[in-house]
Structure 1
């Protein structure tokens, strides 16, 4: 059975989401992707729906990039995941690791974006 994975990212990093969604479409991929991208102003209704989606997932992959610091939606999703005790895999979005890291994220726990890192984490869920 495939794991349900919520992908959290800054909207400016939408291409990162597209890459991992492409991976999830591979018939051998161990996960399916849940999308709650914010394309309109934030509402309490969106937060309620997003919270429900996150709670229904086996885990969350959060991309950390230079855009993360101003990504209110992504920061809220990460905090929501933590509040609901949903396992989170933090992944560097790009090769340079000079990105902002939210204070509630231990930078030593952020993994490089390698399929092995993602697959091992998903297998443990």
Structure 2
């Protein structure tokens, strides 16, 4: 769910949580640096706190980034339309 425009620093977590609550599921895109990105890690943690079905998805399967600890018990899949469809169908 795109924010469409930048949020003020002091309100982004509240607004982000509201967006996550409105989602049927969350696909966390994983790149080489995602495990270092505090904002992305917070969003994954928030999705899990809100009990949103969550899956990690490697952006580059042949050049994988480290799995963020926030997704330690979650499946990480390869970026394919079939895998996306399978996740969405299971929600």
Q: 1:101·1:107 contact (CA, 8 Å) conserved in 2? A: no
Distance in 2 (CA, whole Å) between partners of 1:90 and 1:38 is 25
User: 2 CA distance for matches of 1:101 and 1:81?
Assistant: 16
Unpaired runs of at least 5, structure 2:
none
Instruction: Check the 8 A contact 1:64/1:91 in 2, yes or no.
Output: yes
Q: Which runs of 5+ in 1 are unaligned?
A: 1-33
1:115 to 76, 81, 84: 81
Cα RMSD for the two superposed structures: 2.3
Is 1:70 aligned to 2:36, yes or no? yes
Q: Following TM superposition, where does structure 1 have runs of at least 4 consecutive aligned residues deviating by more than 3 angstroms?
A: 36-41
Taking the aligned partners of 2:84 and 2:32, their CA distance within structure 1 comes to 21
TM superposition score normalised by structure 1: 0.63
Q: Number of residue pairs matched?
A: 91
